[in-house]
Amino acid sequence: MYYSSRKAGAMTSNTNLKTRMYRHNKTGNIYQVLGTALQTETNELMVVYKPVKNNVNHKHEYEMFVRPLEMFTEIVEINGEKMPRFEKIKSPRSFIV
């Protein structure tokens, strides 16, 4: 079961995500955040990220992804447990593509 619940202040003030590795807690896939971007039609901040080559849970058809910052940093419920949608991880250099 996957349930999304936005919490006020759930890291939404962090508009300058650094190039780091994050695990998508629903799939377990690892992504490298490239930075943030502005969606010029709506003025919404977006996170730009790409999958790392070691992901085994999903075949990626695209080189990069974007997701609203608020959604990237929100707290979600996965199997009854609340956790960040993406969790910052320490990663070896071999993950970076």
pLDDT of residue 4: 42
32 token code pair: 């490298």
Domain definitions of the chain by residue range: 2-90
Cα–Cα dist 35/47, whole Å: 6
The structure's pTM equals 0.72
**pLDDT tens readout for residues 43-81:** 999 999 999 876 666 666 778 999 999 999 999 999 999
Secondary structure (DSSP) of 79-96: TTEEEESEEEE---GGG-
In CATH terms, the superfamily for domain 2-90 is DUF1653-like domain (2.30.30.320)
CB 25 within 8 A of CB 74: no
CB 39 within 8 A of CB 61: no
| pLDDT of 9 over the 90 cut | no
